[in-house]
Structure 1
Amino acid sequence: MHALTLASFLFFTGLVAFLTWRITRRDDHASTSGLFLAGRSLTFPLIAGSLLMTNLSTEQMVGLNGAAFADGLSVMAWEVVAVIALVLLALFFLPRFLRSGIATVPQLLEIRFDKGTQRIANVIFLLAYGVILLPIILYSGAMGLQGMLDLHGLTGIQSDTVLLWLTVWLVGLIGAVYALFGGLRTVAVSDTLNGIGLLVGGFVIVYFGLQAVSDGNGVLAGWEILKDSQPERLNSMGREDQQVPFATLFTGVLLINVFYWTTNQQIIQRTFAAKNLAEGQKGVLLTGLFKLLGPLYLVLPGIIAYQLYADQGVEADEAYGHLVFNVLPPYLTGFFAAVMVGAILSSFNSALNSTTTLFSLGFYKGVLNKDASEAQVVRASKIFGWIMALIAMTIAPLLAGQESLFGYLQKMNAIYFIPLLAVVLVGLLTKRVPAMAAKIALVGGCLLIFAGYFIPPFDRLPQVMHEFHFVASVFALLVVAMLVIGKLRPRAEAWVHEDSGAIDLTPWKGAVPAGIVLVILVIAIYAAFAG
């Protein structure tokens, strides 16, 4: 372990923490608006930086590069198709969310349907974040750091299990402090600072990786070697035997992306905190532009790692950390590890902030203590946040041994992504579908997908058709069922989507042209690498 690596790691980590404290030290952390919505003050650079970094944690950096190590360029779908979802968020979903003046997605379902629907959605989100999302963020982060910093050598701990538990708990405790004492603006500022480092570091990895492929003869030479030796891995069209077959881009992959970027509380909470609609749209579309660059630092390094280490017995989810440790000079290894810690903390504290928001506004204020003061709600959110953090830190090390971390994440996410997206979409597009239909879709949809994954004989369905086609079929079934119920037992009165008056809803004039350009670029990228 180089002293220079450790010094650069500590320096950059401390610098981000200090700058975040300086920028946000006078912010309102005592009210629910300040803690959960940054006082509705976020401008487009902070929204874009926070969206990008909340997404770019180590389940992306480690998991998606691991998937690329196994399957090649076709897994870029999770980055490139996301741009379509972001355009939908900017042009369709965000104006409607901000019109409602909501802090959480379940609050929208209460406005559109009823309190019962809101509570069911709250339970689904809380279970999913506590059992699936938070543990995966911590586990992937620990695995990435072990590879980059050679933590075995640094700590002298030889047991993989002991080191995994210690790393998970250390990262989890730091992330909890950020989220529970700082609030959403603190999260957004630290995200933006780390985002700059992550983008720079991600491209630096590619530079040194291609240099290693060409034995120091230059980046272009390394790229030519990759193209000549691995043409099948640089094909954007996924085969049927790969994780993301091309046909699934139009079914499950698209739907999971649309939920993730338009209805996932952890992601879109910072868009609820936009200063106005125009700032929110600019931030979302700027994120889309950055996502188009995603394959360069989230997929290409995995392909480079395959070129360098495929014959060395390196596992897919170990590939990225192995590449970073071997190709970067010591001072840059420490810098990039610090950025990765920032990425881990970003996703973890964003998810934790969203979890406490859901609990505090949905259950504590809505059910347990309806007359609670601002101070009581904030205090309850912090207590619940620590409970969820401890649960996540306990579950995370138990995930060791998954064949594909990223594949496992998408599979588990689909259980709740699909029903929630169906209900939100039908709710926004119809006026007469009743609350009963939403409740049936939420509960029934989660049970259907869970059964299809884990309960015989239903688990044969995702084997007969690809699992992404399976979840798309469930989505279609839920939408049809809700519409049929709406015809048979419609609401007594048509729902009217009233303007809460929370912020200025004047749209950005460039939103539609920018959205069209982004969609054209998505098509062009796929066409350029079609094999």
Structure 2
Amino acid sequence: MGGLETLDLVVILVYLVGIVIYGISKSKRSSSEDYFLGGRTMTWPIVGIALFSANISSSTLVGLASDAFQTNINVYNYEWFAVVILIFFAIFFLPFYLRSGVYTMPEFLERRYDHRSRYYFSFVTIVANVLVDTAAALYVGSIVLKLLFPEISSTTIIILLAVAAAAYTIPGGLNSVIQTEVIQAVLLIIGSCLLTYFAFEELGGGWNGMMTKLDALLASGDVNFGDRAAEGKFIPANSGEVFSLVRPDNDEFMPWWGLLTGVPLLAFYFWVTNQFMVQRVLGAKDLDHGRWGALFAGLLKLPVIFIMIVPGVLALLLFNTLDISSLNYPLPGGEICENISDCPNLTYPVLLFQLLPTGILGLVVAGLLAAMMSSVSATFNSASTLITMDFVKKLKPELTSKQLVRVGQIATIVLVILASSWVPFIERVSDSLWTYLQLVIAFTSPPVVTAFVLGLFWKRANGTGAIVSLLCGGVLAIFMILSAVFDISPYINEIHFLGKANLLFLTTVVIHVVVSLATAPPPEDKVAEYTYKKELFTQETEELKAVPWYKNYRYLAIILLLVTAIVVGSFL
């Protein structure tokens, strides 16, 4: 394994110090709107890049490479489907979000339903921010730095990373987060392109060479598929099956029905209702910039398969049998990891240290740490916004704008401690970081998606139906998690996690509808202001007639869908 030279260390140090200073210099905190929403002045390129950067965090980057190493190329379905969901978001939900002037997604639920849904969803989102986004990003940072500095304890590394990310989030707020995300996204893309280039150079033969060697490797039987064969799970026989985005019913990661039902459900939660992501669009200067930014983020998602997923396949071809025991990386049971097959989460770091030359290695490691800091700072800011605006402001409405900012800063410090404490438990839950992320979202998202979808498109949905379905969905989710941990119900455990998500969604829809119909209709003002009507589409059509095609988001959305169809169609 390669290591960092002095030049690499200098590059990393200069970058990390520079990004903290830059973030603080871009702070806006004269009011709560400045601190939590960047003053609502973000233009579409900033919104789009910030969305992409916050989404393609270090945890996603490492997770994508890990699953690609295990031949789960259909992980790309989560990436391209974001385009469809972002277009849906831009057409239907975003106008209501911006017109209402809300700070948080739970606040919007209160506008449509009542305060009960707001408090519940806010609490769930805060917990998810800590357990999923923040902790996973810190985990990735600890993996990379532990390989570089094995003499430093993981706990110390995690604390240092969390403090570094909080250093500009606490004083600067959302504007500091987004301004640094733009730089980090550019560096992340450049680093991913460089890594892909050097991996292909090492392999030789370009794309066709990769496919030919992948066929030979699969035919040799030297790929470790774990217990897939014994469990009757799908095992790809050739490169065409590896790169097929549509898998058979027995695929353990994403069967074809999961692509049609589960992926849209999880993607909707992540892009339309998740405070962590939507907060960037709430900071847009107007509806047009919000819509253009969302579409731009969707466009940036399309090349991910080439620069972030394919490297995982190249690692399978190049380093499948590489002895990495010298890294002394411990497995959950205490044994030392001997090759990537034992610990696929190391796929991306191994690629970095084996392939990149001095100087470039430092730059790309800085990019990986930048992605981690971007994700952590984003979740710190979004979670502190939820705590401040959904709880503290409601309990103490007399607080001034500056006092609310101070509350948000204190909340961020608390979140740093909580997230850092959870990191050691991640690898105990799952050996695949991406699987861990999707499992948590699959169990938490269905009740929330139900509340938002029925709230916008069904006038009869009321607050009682919303809170009952949210609570019942939460109880069912907890039961499924406990069943998986303690083997309470083997029948439930045998259901694919995307199937569990679908089951939760259908159950909460039925509960929401039945309870809403059995109780009083919602107040007329909530229906009039926060439900979609055909008249809105007709009115917007008239307004868009005077807009040039290249500024008309509908034309841009159609073009984006066509490009997406071409890219996805080449992998069917």
> For each residue in 1:9-30, what CA deviation from the matched residue of structure 2 results, as whole angstroms up to 9, or x when unmatched?
22333443444445x2xx5313
Aligned with 1:400 (options 427, 444, 464)? 427
Query: CA 1:423/1:278 → structure 2, altered by over 3 Å: closer, same or farther?
Result: same
Q: What 5-or-longer segments of structure 1 have no aligned partner?
A: 500-504
Is residue 333 from structure 1 mapped to residue 333 from structure 2 by the alignment?
Answer: no
Aligned residue pairs total: 508
- Map of 2:529 onto structure 1: 498
Q: Which amino acid counterpart does residue 484 of structure 1 have in structure 2?
A: V
> For each residue in 1:313-347, what CA deviation from the matched residue of structure 2 results, as whole angstroms up to 9, or x when unmatched?
21211011100111111100100111111110111
Single out whichever of 27-36 and 314-323 deviates more from structure 2: 27-36
Cα drift, residue 70 of structure 1: 0.8
Is residue 294 from structure 1 mapped to residue 304 from structure 2 by the alignment?
Answer: yes
Single out whichever of 7-16 and 223-232 deviates more from structure 2: 223-232
Rounded to whole Å, the distance in 1 between the matches of 2:433 and 2:310 is 18
- Partner-residue secondary structure (3-state), 1:330: coil
Single out whichever of 135-144 and 236-245 deviates more from structure 2: 236-245
Rounded to whole Å, the distance in 1 between the matches of 2:364 and 2:405 is 34
- Map of 2:242 onto structure 1: 233
Rounded to whole Å, the distance in 1 between the matches of 2:208 and 2:259 is 32
Alignment TM-score, normalising by the size of structure 2: 0.84
Aligned with 1:475 (options 477, 482, 505)? 505
Alignment of 1:4-153 (within 5 A): 4-22=7-25, 24=26, 27-147=27-147, 150-152=148-150
User: What value does the CA root-mean-square deviation take over the aligned residues?
Assistant: 2.1
Aligned with 1:382 (options 409, 433, 439)? 409
Aligned with 1:253 (options 263, 266, 276)? 263
> For each residue in 1:148-190, what CA deviation from the matched residue of structure 2 results, as whole angstroms up to 9, or x when unmatched?
xx223xxxx1xxxx53212211110011122111110111110
- Partner-residue secondary structure (3-state), 1:71: coil
Rounded to whole Å, the distance in 2 between the matches of 1:83 and 1:318 is 29
Aligned 8 A contact 2:28 2:172 in 1: no
Q: Which amino acid counterpart does residue 70 of structure 1 have in structure 2?
A: Q
Rounded to whole Å, the distance in 1 between the matches of 2:120 and 2:98 is 22
Aligned 8 A contact 2:82 2:267 in 1: yes
Cα drift, residue 375 of structure 1: 1.9
Rounded to whole Å, the distance in 1 between the matches of 2:59 and 2:319 is 21
Rounded to whole Å, the distance in 2 between the matches of 1:131 and 1:223 is 37
Aligned 8 A contact 1:452 1:462 in 2: yes
- Partner-residue secondary structure (3-state), 1:476: helix
Is residue 372 from structure 1 mapped to residue 399 from structure 2 by the alignment?
Answer: yes
> For each residue in 1:341-365, what CA deviation from the matched residue of structure 2 results, as whole angstroms up to 9, or x when unmatched?
1110111010010011001011111
**Identity percentage of aligned residues:** 26
Aligned 8 A contact 2:61 2:308 in 1: yes
Cα drift, residue 127 of structure 1: 1.9
Query: CA 1:515/1:398 → structure 2, altered by over 3 Å: closer, same or farther?
Result: same
- Partner-residue secondary structure (3-state), 1:370: coil
Cα drift, residue 374 of structure 1: 1.3
Aligned 8 A contact 1:86 1:285 in 2: yes
Rounded to whole Å, the distance in 1 between the matches of 2:385 and 2:172 is 13
- Partner-residue secondary structure (3-state), 2:284: coil
Rounded to whole Å, the distance in 1 between the matches of 2:497 and 2:124 is 21
Rounded to whole Å, the distance in 2 between the matches of 1:53 and 1:459 is 39
Aligned 8 A contact 1:71 1:243 in 2: no
Rounded to whole Å, the distance in 1 between the matches of 2:408 and 2:435 is 32
Is residue 205 from structure 1 mapped to residue 195 from structure 2 by the alignment?
Answer: yes
Alignment of 1:451-466 (within 5 A): 451-455=479-483, 459-466=489-496
Aligned 8 A contact 1:100 1:497 in 2: no
Alignment of 1:164-313 (within 5 A): 164-214=154-204, 219-220=206-207, 222-223=209-210, 225-226=212-213, 228-229=215-216, 231=239, 232-239=241-248, 240-312=250-322, 313=339
Cα drift, residue 526 of structure 1: 3.1
More relative contact order in 1 or in 2 (CA 8 Å, sep 6+)? 1
Q: What 5-or-longer segments of structure 2 have no aligned partner?
A: 217-237, 323-338, 531-539
Cα drift, residue 461 of structure 1: 4.6
Single out whichever of 223-232 and 317-326 deviates more from structure 2: 223-232
Q: Which amino acid counterpart does residue 233 of structure 1 have in structure 2?
A: V
Aligned 8 A contact 2:113 2:522 in 1: no
Single out whichever of 509-518 and 272-281 deviates more from structure 2: 509-518
Single out whichever of 514-523 and 376-385 deviates more from structure 2: 514-523
Cα drift, residue 452 of structure 1: 2.0
Aligned 8 A contact 1:207 1:219 in 2: no
Aligned 8 A contact 2:66 2:347 in 1: yes
Query: CA 1:71/1:497 → structure 2, altered by over 3 Å: closer, same or farther?
Result: farther
Aligned 8 A contact 1:452 1:461 in 2: no
- Partner-residue secondary structure (3-state), 1:491: coil
Rounded to whole Å, the distance in 1 between the matches of 2:169 and 2:273 is 21
Cα drift, residue 301 of structure 1: 0.9
Aligned 8 A contact 1:50 1:192 in 2: yes
Rounded to whole Å, the distance in 2 between the matches of 1:228 and 1:71 is 12
Alignment TM-score, normalising by the size of structure 1: 0.91
